[in-house]
């Protein structure tokens, strides 16, 4: 089947929009109406007039789109597309922690469930985490949830001492600084660019640390011709499209594995995208009261960033 033609016909017929995350397979990135990080896609989700939003990403992203668009149908090509970071923070555990530290504000990284969002004061993404944290007074007590690596990075950047939830991304956290340095020895011209979800040792040796959007911006403006990329491999598709003259090397721990491919992001395929548009399922369904509570901290983030 020619999935490209079928998907194009269906999205027109159903007034549907496809939002695609940078970590999706190249074919999905190429067919998406909008491609971006979770912040940009959340903004698109607010602006859209489409009747159906197909979120080609993972579950927490589709939930965010639904929370911002309670009246629209939001579909996710594979309902199993989860996130190790979101799984690391259980809402009941967070509720307990909030009782233990009632004087702390809760800043939650967008990679968390709707229930966790509903318990948060504000949401952030890797693109705006610094700005969101800095919007609080210097002496504000903060609990940062659920990514300890991003939280620790922001602590180092700002000199703050936020309490960190002990969660991490299964892709970024395992990248090994020694392996990155070994690769750097064989590619001495290459700059290391790393995502803040990486562990502190990798961030320490990186020439540039930033979100997916910040990395793309960096490689476009920077004068180097080679880069070692410490993040999920999906982003390489946009990097190569934006700067075809440059070379990118994946900072993997083992050349034979697919350890930088997020297994959840890669669950979405063109066939599943086609089927979900055709059958209008799987759909994200959330309780109205939960959505109302989870929307406030997301809207606070959108206002602050």
Contact residues for ligand CIZ (CB under 6 A)? 21, 37-38, 110, 125-127, 195, 211-213
Shortest distance in whole angstroms from residue 246 CB to ligand CIZ: 20
Burial class of 139 by CB neighbour count within 10 A (0 to 12, 13 to 18, 19+):
exposed
> Which CB, 38 or 120, lies closer to ligand CIZ?
38
Nearer to ligand CIZ, 57 or 282 (CB): 57
Scanning the chain, the segments in alpha helix (DSSP H) are 3-13, 26-31, 38-47, 59-68, 84-87, 91-100, 114-118, 129-134, 148-158, 177-186, 200-205, 212-221, 235-242, 270-279, 288-304
At closest approach, how far in Å is the CB of 211 from ligand CIZ? 3
**CB 123, CB 117: distance < 8 Å:** yes
Closer CB to ligand CIZ, 9 or 242, in the complex:
242
| Minimum distance from residue 150 beta carbon to ligand CIZ (Å) | 9
We find the least distance from the C-beta atom of residue 57 to ligand CIZ, in angstroms, to be: 8
- Reported as type and span, the H/E element at residue 124 is strand 122-124
Q: Nearer to ligand CIZ by C-beta: 126 or 233?
A: 126
Least distance to ligand CIZ, CB of residue 210, Å: 8
Q: Which is nearer to ligand CIZ, 110 or 276 (CB)?
A: 110
Q: Which is nearer to ligand CIZ, 10 or 44 (CB)?
A: 44
SS3 of residue 44 by DSSP: helix
**Is the distance from CB of 168 to CB of 230 less than 8 angstroms?**
no
Angle of CA points 47, 52, 54, to nearest 5° = 90
Residue 61 neighbours by CB under 8 Å, 6+ apart: 21, 38, 41, 42, 55, 110
Residue 199 CB, shortest distance to ligand CIZ, in Å, is 16
């Amino acid at each position: 089947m020619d999935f490209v033609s079928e998907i194009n016909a269906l999205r027109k017929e159903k007034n549907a929009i496809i939002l695609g995350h940078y970590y999706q397979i190249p074919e999905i990135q190429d067919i998406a109406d909008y491609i971006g990080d979770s912040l940009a896609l959340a903004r698109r989700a607010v602006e859209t007039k489409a009747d159906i939003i197909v979120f080609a990403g993972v579950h927490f992203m589709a939930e965010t789109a639904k929370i911002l668009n309670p009246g629209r149908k939001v579909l996710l090509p594979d309902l199993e597309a989860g996130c190790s970071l979101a799984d690391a923070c259980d809402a009941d555990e967070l509720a307990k922690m909030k009782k233990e530290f009632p004087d702390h504000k809760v800043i939650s990284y967008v990679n968390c469930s709707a229930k966790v969002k509903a318990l948060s004061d504000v949401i952030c993404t890797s693109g705006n985490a610094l700005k969101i944290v800095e919007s609080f007074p210097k002496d504000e007590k903060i609990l940062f949830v659920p990514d300890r690596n991003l939280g620790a990075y922001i602590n180092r950047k700002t000199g703050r001492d936020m309490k960190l939830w002990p969660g991490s991304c299964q892709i970024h956290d395992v990248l090994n600084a020694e392996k990155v340095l070994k690769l750097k020895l064989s590619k001495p011209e290459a700059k290391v660019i790393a995502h803040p979800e990486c562990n502190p040792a990798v961030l320490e040796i990186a020439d540039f640390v930033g979100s997916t959007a910040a990395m793309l911006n960096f490689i476009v403006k920077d004068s180097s011709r080679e880069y070692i990329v410490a993040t999920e491999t999906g982003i390489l598709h946009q990097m190569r499209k934006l700067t075809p003259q440059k070379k990118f090397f994946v900072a993997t721990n083992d050349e034979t594995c697919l350890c930088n491919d997020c297994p959840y992001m890669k669950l979405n395929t063109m066939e599943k995208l086609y089927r979900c548009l055709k059958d209008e399922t799987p759909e994200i369904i959330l309780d109205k009261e939960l959505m109302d509570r989870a929307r406030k901290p997301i809207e606070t983030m959108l206002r602050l960033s």
